[in-house]
Amino acid sequence: MNRLLRLIYRIYSLHWWIMRPLVVGVRIILAQDGKVLLVRHTYQRHWYFPGGAVKKGETLPAAASREATEEAGVILGEAPQLHGMYSSFYEGKSDHIAVFVCENFQMSQATDRWEIDACQFFAMDALPDDLSPACRRRLQEYGAGIGPYVEKW
């Protein structure tokens, strides 16, 4: 199954490289008690914050909340706060990512069963070696306590 998803992801990446669509996405830093909740996708090798593309007619905070529920089974206890806006042009893409933060949430059942391989809390001072470099930078910013940021992903 993971092989098939990786192949689909590569084909999808090729489509992005050819068509070059502008995409708006979200990620959400879910932090509580000195820990952060991360997910690993079936088709990628790094740990990430839950997130994904914004659907047509959906607000950025609503997309962050939906992705938290789908990928990590998280029910937000308050509206997520904007951490920053980032741009990524990796692999020929034109992605714009809004990163939110929420520290008040409850765990429930994730609704996305095929895309997420693992969902786990990590202590802020014991992050996994294979954490996405961009997510590592976002956590450094989060620890600094300033923002919002407007940077490259």
pLDDT of residue 129: 97
CATH of the domain spanning 2-152: 3.90.79.10
pLDDT of residue 151: 80
Measured between alpha carbons, how far is 50 from 121 in angstroms, rounded to an integer? 12
Question: What average pLDDT does the segment 3-16 reach?
Answer: 77
8 confidence band (pLDDT: 50, 70, 90): confident
Measured between alpha carbons, how far is 74 from 55 in angstroms, rounded to an integer? 19
Query: Where in the chain are the domains?
Result: 2-152
What letter does residue 126 receive in the DSSP assignment?
A: S
Q: What is the 3-state secondary structure (H, E, C) of 51-91?
A: EEECCCCCCHHHHHHHHHHHHHCEEECCCCEEEEEEEECHH
pLDDT of residue 43: 85
The 10s digit of each residue's pLDDT in 79-125 is 999 999 999 887 667 889 999 999 999 999 888 778 899 999 999 99
- Which residue has tokens 């034109």? 94
pLDDT of residue 134: 95
Measured between alpha carbons, how far is 99 from 83 in angstroms, rounded to an integer? 5
Q: pTM, whole model, 2 decimals?
A: 0.84
The 10s digit of each residue's pLDDT in 25-81 is 999 999 999 999 999 999 888 999 999 999 999 999 999 999 999 999 999 999 999
Residues 138/73/80/136 CA torsion (nearest 10 deg):
0
